[in-house]
Chains A and B, each alone.
Chain A
Amino acid sequence: MSGIEYLIQGFQVALAPTNLLACLVGVVLGTMVGVLPGLGPIEAMAIMLPLSIRYGPLAGLILLAGVWYGAQYGGSTTSILVNIPGEASSVITCVDGYQMTRKGRAGAALTVSAIGSFVAGTIGIIILQLFAPPLARAALSFGPIEYLAVMLLAFVALCTLGGDNPLKGALMIAFGAFLSTIGIDRIAGVQRFTMGIPTMMYGINFIPVAVGLFGIAEVIRIALNPYAPSPVKSIRLRELYPNREESRRSVMPILRGSFIGAFFGLLPGTPAVLASFASYSVEKSISPRKAEFGKGAIEGVAGPESANNSAVVIALIPLLCLGIPLAPVAALLLAGLEMHNVTPGPLFIRDNPTIFWGFIAAMYLGNFLLLVLNLPLVGLFARVATLRPQVLMPIIGIFCLIGSYTTRMAIFDVWVMIGAGVVGFLLTRLGFSMVPLVIGMVLGNILEDNLRVTIQWLNGEISLIWTRPIALTILALIPVYVVFIRLAGRKVLKSGVSD
C-alpha cells in the first residue's frame, strides 16, 4: 500500500466514533488547560492517563496528543488577552499579543494565532508523515554538546529582547538562570541557596514566577488608575478579525514559524519554548518594522504561535520512530502507549500501521477541530478586553492565585507569585523586559544538564569539540548573529525608524 492509501485507511479509523470523541475531548480539554495558569499539558495528560486506559491504544493516544497540542493554543489566549502566559511557550506571545489587545486588536491576534497554529500543525503533521524515519535518525545526531551550543545561541539572541538595552536582557537572563539553580542539585544532592526554607529545597517553580511577573504586575498597573480611559471601548464585528494588511503580514511569519518549529521540535527538553522564542527573534531581526515589535506587531504573534504548534507535532517523531521521548509530555504519551502493550520504536510503523496512520489522520482532524472550535469563539474572547477593570481584575487575580497554588499545591508558590508581581511591576516601569528572565529560568536547568554531560564527555580534552561540526557551526553563528543584529539596527536607524 502507498502512503496515500495508508492515510485514507487511517482516516477511516480516525473517524470511528470512539476515536473522534477522544479527539474532540482531547482538544477541548487541552485548550481549557492551556488557558489556566498553573495547569499545564503534563498535569492534564496525567489526569487523563487513567481515562485513556479505558479506550484502546489509538483512542488513548489521540486523547493525550489532543490535550498536548490543544494546550499550546489555549496558552496563547490568556497571553494575548490578559498578559498571563498559560504555558512556557506562550510567554513570548505576551510581548506583542497583549499590546495588540490594548490597541483593540485582540480579535485579530487570536484569529492569527488560531490560523497560524492550524497551518503550522498541518505542516508539522505532513513532515511527520513523510519524513519521520530520517528525521528521527537526524535527531540522534544532536547530542548534549550540540544542545549546549543551541542554548548559548538562544541566550545571546534573548538579549535582544531585553527592553531598550541588550545588557538589560543579559542581566535578566542571568538572573533567571540563577533562580533555576535554587533548590537541591539533582546530581550532587546538595542544597543551593535554600536559606533554610524547607519548601525552597524543591526549587522555585517557573509558573508562579511567570504569573506574577506578567499577570500580577499588570493587575498592579491597572490598580494604580482603574479609571484611565481604556483604548478599547467596544469591538465592532469587522475589528474581530485581521484586516487585509495584518493578514498579508502574517503569511510569511506563519510559514517561517512552521519550519522553525519543525527544526526545534527534534531537540530534547522544551522544544516549543525554544521554537516560539527563536521564531520571534527571527521575525524581529528581519522585519522592516522593528520599531513595532513590543508594541503590537502581528508578526510577533503569528510566528511564535505557529512555531510552538509545529514543534509539538515534530517532537512526536523521536517517540514514534525511536521510542525515545525527548520531551516530558512525550514521556507521558509513551506511558500511555505502554499501558496498552504498544511499544513505539523503529518497528512501530511496520508492526502497528493502523495505530500509526490512524494517529496521523486523527492529528489532521484534531488540528482542524481546534480551528473550528476556536475561531467562532474569537469574538467572545476578544470582548474580554472590553470588560471594566472592576470586573476583570478580581477574575484575573483569583485565577492567578489558584493557578499558582495548584502548580505544586504549595502556599509558598503563592507568595512567590506575589513577590514576583511586585518585582515585575517595578522592573517593567524601569524598562526591563520580563521575557528573558522567565526563559532564563526555564532553560537554566537544561543548560546545566547539558553543560554537565558535555564536561564529562570532554574529560579535559577541549580538542574533542572539533569532532562535533554541528556544535561548531552553531557556536560560529553566535558572532554572526551579533554582527547581523548590530548591522540591522544601524540600517533601521539610518532609515529614520527608531529602534
Chain B
Amino acid sequence: MFAEREIVPFAGKMKDFSRAEFIVYCVFCAAAAAIIVPSVKLGLGGKEELGPGLLPFLASLCVLATGAVLAILTRLRREKVNPSAELEKIDRKGWIRVGEILFSFAVWPLLVGVIGYIISTFLVSLGMAKAIGYKGWLRPIILSISITFCIWFIFGFMFHLDLPAGFSF
C-alpha cells in the first residue's frame, strides 16, 4: 500500500504524487492558520495559569510550521514516486465500489433512529456485501442475517446496551 520513495530523474510512466502531497500540506497549513487567531482570542494565559487557547495555539503553530517545511521540501526536491508493485490498479469501478461502501456507511446513521438498529444493520450489511461484489442474493442475505443476529446477541442481549429500536422493535 505504501509507495516506495526514491529521488530519480523523471522518466517513463512514474506517477507523481508530490503534487497531491503539496496540496495536503497546504490544506493543513491553511487550517492551522485559521485556528491561530481564535486560539489567541480564547486566551493563552499568563505566568500563573494556562489559558484555554494555549494548547490549540501551540498545536496549530506546530502544524503550520511542519506543514510549511514539508510543502517547501516537496517542491524543492520534486520527488517522483515509483508506485510499489503491490499497489492495486485503481479503476473507475473501484472508485464506484468505494462510493457504494461509503454510501452504505452513511445510510446506517440516517436510518437507525427511524427504523431501529436491527433492520438498519441488516440493510447496510446487505448493501456492503453486494457493493463489494457478492453475486446473487441468497448468500448475502444469509450473511447479513448472521451479522445482525451477532450484533443483537453481543450488544443487545449480553451487554444490554440501549441501541435505538426505532419503530420496529
Contacts and interface: CB of A to CB of B under 8 A. Distances in A.
Contact of B133 (A220, A390, A402, A430): A390
A460 B131 CA distance: 61
B159 interface: yes
Interface residues of B, number: 71
Given A178-B63, A224-B98, A409 B144 contact: no
Nearest to B105: A418
A387 B160 CA distance: 30
A193 B49 contact: no
A171 B70 contact: yes
Contact of B56 (A168, A192, A458): A192
B31 to A, nearest CB: 9
A206 interface: no
Interface in A176-196: 177-178, 181, 185, 187-188, 190, 192-193
B48 A456 contact: yes
A12 B140 CA distance: 52
Nearest to B17: A430
A165 interface: yes
A91 to B, nearest CB: 18
A223 B104 CA distance: 12
Given A181-B56, A401-B124, 11 more contacts: A36-B154, A175-B28, A187-B50, A226-B133, A390-B132, A393-B129, A394-B132, A411-B112, A422-B102, A431-B3, A451-B55
Contact of B155 (A397, A406, A421): A406
Top-6 shortest CB links A-B: A460-B47, A174-B62, A225-B88, A178-B59, A185-B52, A224-B94
Interface residues of A, number: 70
B30 interface: no
A292 to B, nearest CB: 14
A174 B147 contact: no
Q: Which of B35, B55, B90, B160 lies at the interface centre, i.e. has the most chain A CB atoms within 10 A of its CB? A: B55
A174 B70 CA distance: 14
A224 B105 CA distance: 16
A220 B162 CA distance: 29
B94 to A, nearest CB: 4
Contacts of A409: 161-162
Interface of B: 1-3, 5, 17, 20-21, 24, 28, 35, 38, 42-43, 45, 47-56, 59-60, 62-63, 66-67, 69-70, 73, 88-90, 94-95, 97-98, 101-102, 104-106, 108-109, 112-113, 117, 121, 124-126, 128-129, 131-134, 143-144, 147, 151, 154-155, 159-163
B2 A431 contact: yes
Nearest to B110: A411
A401 B70 contact: no
A223 to B, nearest CB: 5
A178 B124 contact: no
A393 B105 CA distance: 12
B70 A390 contact: no
A421 B52 CA distance: 29
A329 B161 CA distance: 20
Nearest to B144: A394
Chain B interface, DSSP helix/strand/loop, else mixed = helix
B50 A451 contact: yes
B66 A167 contact: yes
7 contacts: A181-B59, A224-B95, A225-B88, A398-B128, A402-B163, A430-B24, A455-B48
Contacts of B132: 222-223, 226, 389-390, 393-394
A223 B105 contact: no
A460 B102 contact: no
A287 B94 CA distance: 39
Interface in A216-230: 216, 219-228
B62 A170 contact: yes
Contacts of B1: 221, 428-429
Contacts of B161: 406, 409
B103 to A, nearest CB: 10
Contacts of A391: 129, 143
Contacts of A32: 154
A250 to B, nearest CB: 25
Contacts of B73: 167
Interface string A59-90: 00000000000000000000000000000000
B59 A223 contact: no
Contacts of A192: 42, 52-53, 56
Contacts of B47: 455, 458-460
Contacts of B162: 409
A397 B117 contact: no
A472 interface: no
A25 to B, nearest CB: 12
B88 to A, nearest CB: 4
A31 B154 CA distance: 13
B142 to A, nearest CB: 11
A444 interface: yes
Given A398-B151, A430-B24, A178 B60 contact: yes
B3 A178 contact: no
Interface in A391-430: 391, 393-395, 397-399, 401-402, 405-406, 409, 411, 414-415, 418, 421-422, 426-430
Contacts of B109: 401, 405, 411, 414-415
